[in-house]
Amino acid sequence: MVPRIRPVRQRGNTRAGLSSFVAASALAGVLVAGLLLPFASAAGLAAKQGAEYYNSLPAGLPEQELSQRSVLLAADGSPLAAFYEQNRIVVPLAKIAPVMQRAMLAVEDARFYQHGPVDPKAVIRALVQNLKAGDVEQGASSLTQQYVKNMLIQTAHGDQKKIKEATAPTLKRKIQELKYAAEVEKRLTKDQILEAYLNIAYFGDGVYGVEAAARHYFRKSAALLTLPEAALIAGLVRQPGMYDPTHAPQAARSRRNTVLDRMAAVGFITSAEAARAKQAPLGLDVVPMGNGCERSKAPFFCEYALSVILSDPVFGKTARERRDLLLRGGLRIQTTLDPRAQEAAQRAIDARIEPDNEVAMALAMVQPGTGAVKAIATNRRFGNGRGQTKVNLAVDKRDGGSSGFQAGSTFKPFVLATAIKQGVPVTKTFNAPPAITLSGFRFCDSGRRYPPWAVSNYEGLGYGAIDMRVATWRSVNTYFAQLEQLTTQCEAVKTAHLLGVRRADGRPLETVPSFVLGSQEVSPLAMAEAYATFAARGVHCESRPISAVIDRNGSKLPIPPPKCRWVLDPRVADTVNSVLAGVIDGPDRQRTGGRLTLGRPAAGKTGTTDSTVAVWFVGYTPDLSTAVWTGYPDRSRPMRSLVLRGKHYPRVSGARVPGPVWQEAMKGALADTPPRPFGR
């Protein structure tokens, strides 16, 4: 039978607690001075003086809540990343295996439940050894004293001077430590002290507390640790670097076996149990350490969510407060990321383009009506090497992205919506020649005339007299330039702004005639957000990656609230949806998105800039809006005759490269979502 640990005494000023405090005071001058005899002699500090000095010291240990790691979670609760100053998961004693508790007590303080803040037997034993050596060769710190030292290190917040003071082998420090330990033992039960120590101690390889240690070394909770596993973890406390099983397995095994022998010696296990446990392999199942987004399965989404936490005042008034909350607060941060959508998006991109191709691709998915960001993906991997980047090509510069990319003809729907809003019928016709020069555009602020503006169609095609629908399906520049002149670019920019369009560099949208042809640099996330407004029948919701934040106590914290409002008449949005649906599933055989059907109601628009510096496809269903961009990240040159995944593309357009990625990603993301029509 494994001996039971002695029941704990109750909290409060019991007779035992008071006598422990008095005993500590009496022992301070004799035992502690004896323990550190060389220091005491050098200081000329007599026993009586030691006791007087002890009584003059402050008793209140500087304490604070333990630093705990915060975890970023996907919408289904699966982990995305962890952030911490110290990788710790605080758990109650009831969730730590008794064998783990006994292993720690055996090797650090076997008489913990029998003595007060200091163990006189241990002090005397150390005193004899130190007297023989004429130096401090053996310490006698109780578990409570070790907890005190760890808490002083914790409250130092990395201040090396304070850490040195908390660990220095000086008489002053030992007496103060004893005073703090006596105060702790008056205030807490033995069980509470043991629980606190098991949660605060460092167990090597960057982990603090037994729960994080159990998960790191054995991929299990501390409640499920076996005897040999518990002995290995307990053995790490004394010298974590020397006994680190990931780097020094033989030393770790030897130390583990020493702990097992000690457990048998103090009666916590039998000799037979110790012998069997010593034969067990180390049994490591190490979980790689990850602090931040780099190891996340969705690193660019992770970085986007992180930027919101570190910048939004709802998480703290100052940058320091927000950072401390994240790294020390033990938060559970629930995000909007849909793992199915994320996997579908990444799979679609990876199938089309290599990470180390000079050309890049980025995708963003947004839920209409909520603004919840469901996925962010790029062909680049997160990092600094070949085929890697830490610039999030899918989001705005303020969120760790780039300064954006010209959007091409994906801006035409904003002029389309403006015209419909102004009462222009979709049957409105213009002659659409191969090229046209327009005069009459005016500056929005001064009313001065712009110089004549020359516009030409893709591949120099002319279309004759066509209406708004055909012009949209075939993406006719000369038609939309005339439509913008009718609505004015000033009003078109206002509409786009209401829908959520913004420049990626943070500057205001430019009210220039070329607006209709996508001359503004934007991010895929901004475009997905804007088109989601059409899908939501005129309700614009700002993009958001966070749905809930739970603190260490299980309480919900405030988060940036959803910001949604009606910005477009539903009838206008319905008409836009009807026209854009024809790009994918319309009757016109020359429609630009004719091969991108989803087998369900969908709408969208291709985009190809001048000289094909960038190509886009932005499309949506009532349930999901997705924008895909392709181009050279530095916007340095046009894309001509590309080779992607071994396939040659003589011509590059929104329908040929990003369009199929959009199609595959949307099909995967919506696989379990029943189709539904627009307008409901």
Strand ranges inside 342-447, DSSP E? 360-366, 373-378, 381-382, 388-389, 405-406, 430-432, 435-438
Confidence of residue 117 (pLDDT cuts 50, 70, 90): confident
Amino acid at 103: A
Confidence of residue 19 (pLDDT cuts 50, 70, 90): very low
**Residue 399 · residue 366 · CB < 8 Å:** no
Residue written as tokens 């990626």? 504
Three-state DSSP class for residue 642: strand
Residue written as tokens 């090396």? 160
- Judged on CB neighbours under 10 Å (0-12, 13-18, 19+), 288 is exposed
Taking only the tens place, the pLDDT of each residue in 439-461 is 999 999 999 999 999 999 988 89
What own/partner pairs with CB < 8 Å and gap ≥ 24 does 128-135 have?
130/34, 130/35, 130/36, 130/37, 130/38, 131/34, 131/37, 134/38, 135/38
Q: For residue 159, how many other CB atoms are within 10 A of its CB?
A: 12
**Mean pLDDT along residues 358-369:** 97
Better-predicted residue by pLDDT, 544 or 9: 544
Indicate whether 8 pLDDT > 50.
Answer: no
Better-predicted residue by pLDDT, 134 or 288: 288
Indicate whether 46 pLDDT > 60.
Answer: no
The dihedral sign for the CA sequence 456, 458, 461, 464: negative
Taking only the tens place, the pLDDT of each residue in 376-435 is 999 999 999 898 999 999 999 999 999 999 999 999 999 999 999 999 999 999 999 999
Q: Tell me how far CA of residue 374 lies from CA of 109, 267, 402, 521, in angstroms.
A: 51, 56, 20, 23
658, part of any domain: no
Q: 430 - beta bridge partners?
A: 466
374, part of any domain: no
**Residue 162 · residue 152 · CB < 8 Å:** yes
Helix (H) or strand (E) holding 83: strand 79-83
Chain length of the chain: 680
Average pLDDT score over the chain: 90
What own/partner pairs with CB < 8 Å and gap ≥ 24 does 119-128 have?
120/23, 120/27, 120/31, 123/27, 123/31, 123/32, 123/34, 123/35, 124/31, 126/35, 127/31, 127/34, 127/35, 127/37
Q: Report the range of poorest mean pLDDT among 66-80, 344-358, 585-599.
A: 585-599
Indicate whether 31 pLDDT > 60.
Answer: no
**Residue 145 · residue 178 · CB < 8 Å:** yes
- Judged on CB neighbours under 10 Å (0-12, 13-18, 19+), 446 is exposed
Indicate whether 216 pLDDT > 70.
Answer: yes
Instruction: Give alpha helix (H) positions in 392-523.
Output: 412-421, 468-473, 477-487, 489-499
Taking only the tens place, the pLDDT of each residue in 159-192 is 788 878 777 777 777 888 888 899 999 999 999 9
Burial 403-417 (b: 16+ CB within 10 A, else e): bbbbbbbbbbbbbbb
Task: Output the six-digit token pair for 176.
Answer: 């103060």
Per-residue pLDDT, 27? 52
Query: How far is residue 419's CA from residue 163's CA, in Å, rounded to a whole number?
Result: 68
User: Please, what is the Cα angle at 8 between 139 and 262, to 5 degrees?
Assistant: 45
The model's pTM: 0.88
Taking only the tens place, the pLDDT of each residue in 414-423 is 999 999 999 9
310, part of any domain: no
**Mean pLDDT along residues 591-597:** 93
Three-state DSSP class for residue 89: coil
Q: 392 - beta bridge partners?
A: 401
Helix (H) or strand (E) holding 400: none
597, part of any domain: no
End-to-end CA distance of the chain: 69
**Mean pLDDT along residues 578-590:** 93
**Mean pLDDT along residues 518-539:** 98
Three-state DSSP class for residue 560: coil
374 alpha-carbon distance from chain centroid: 15
Amino acid at 532: A
Q: 631 - beta bridge partners?
A: 360, 614
Q: For residue 643, how many other CB atoms are within 10 A of its CB?
A: 12
Residue written as tokens 């969510």? 305
What are the counts of helices (DSSP H) followed by strands (DSSP E) for the chain?
24, 23
Q: Strands 360-366 and 373-378, how do they pair?
A: antiparallel
Side-chain half-sphere exposure of 147, counting CA atoms within 13 A: 31
Taking only the tens place, the pLDDT of each residue in 453-502 is 999 998 889 999 999 999 999 999 999 999 999 999 999 999 999 999 99
Per-residue pLDDT, 289? 79
Range of the domain at 131: 15-66+95-279
Indicate whether 558 pLDDT > 90.
Answer: yes
Q: For residue 468, how many other CB atoms are within 10 A of its CB?
A: 23
301 φψ region: left (φ > 0), alpha (ψ -120 to 50), beta (else): alpha
CATH number for the domain that contains residue 224: 1.10.3810.10
Q: What share of the chain is helix, strand, coil (3-state, %, to 5)?
A: 45, 15, 40
Indicate whether 47 pLDDT > 80.
Answer: no
Query: How far is residue 362's CA from residue 528's CA, in Å, rounded to a whole number?
Result: 12
Instruction: Give alpha helix (H) positions in 312-394.
Output: 319-328, 339-352
**Mean pLDDT along residues 18-46:** 46
Three-state DSSP class for residue 576: helix
Per-residue pLDDT, 460? 87
Per-residue pLDDT, 63? 78
Question: Over pLDDT 90: what percentage of the chain?
Answer: 77
Confidence of residue 20 (pLDDT cuts 50, 70, 90): very low
179 alpha-carbon distance from chain centroid: 41
Confidence of residue 54 (pLDDT cuts 50, 70, 90): low
**Mean pLDDT along residues 54-71:** 82
Nearest alpha-carbon partner for 473 in 348, 596, 366: 596
259, part of any domain: yes
Three-state DSSP class for residue 631: strand
Query: How far is residue 544's CA from residue 561's CA, in Å, rounded to a whole number?
Result: 9
284, part of any domain: no
Per-residue pLDDT, 144? 94
Three-state DSSP class for residue 135: coil
Side-chain half-sphere exposure of 377, counting CA atoms within 13 A: 31
Specify the number of domains making up the chain.
1
Indicate whether 638 pLDDT > 60.
Answer: yes
57, part of any domain: yes
Query: How far is residue 431's CA from residue 482's CA, in Å, rounded to a whole number?
Result: 9
**Mean pLDDT along residues 278-290:** 93
Three-state DSSP class for residue 58: coil
**Residue 495 · residue 534 · CB < 8 Å:** no
Per-residue pLDDT, 400? 95
Per-residue pLDDT, 62? 79
**Residue 67 · residue 88 · CB < 8 Å:** yes
Amino acid at 305: A
